[in-house]
Amino acid sequence: MPRLDGYQTCALIKANRNYRSIPVIMLSSRDGLFDLARGRLAGSDKYLTKPFTRQDLLAAIQSYVVKPELAVEQ
């Protein structure tokens, strides 16, 4: 299997019904509109560009983490 880039890997994850609900946060040094659109088209849930802060990364992750007390209510 040839090497895949992040966009291709994301698209494969999102194409698989067993994994498509897993959030994908892409990290990239590419910050052009084309790159952001390509990330969205691949299925990424969030696209962070370098440099990003620790707080940016943690906030992105936290937005997809289900809090235990909320999971019980659902």
Query: 33 pLDDT exceeds 80?
Result: yes
Query: 31 pLDDT exceeds 60?
Result: yes
The candidate with the shortest Cα–Cα distance to 57, out of 48, 44, 68, is 48
For the chain, domain boundaries:
6-73
The amino acid sitting at 60 is A
pLDDT of residue 1: 46
Average pLDDT over residues 17-46: 95
CATH for 6-73, options being 1.10.287.3510, 3.40.50.2300, 3.40.50.300, 3.60.21.10: 3.40.50.2300
Q: Model confidence at 66, in pLDDT bands (50, 70, 90)?
A: confident
- In a 3-state reduction of DSSP, which class is residue 70? helix
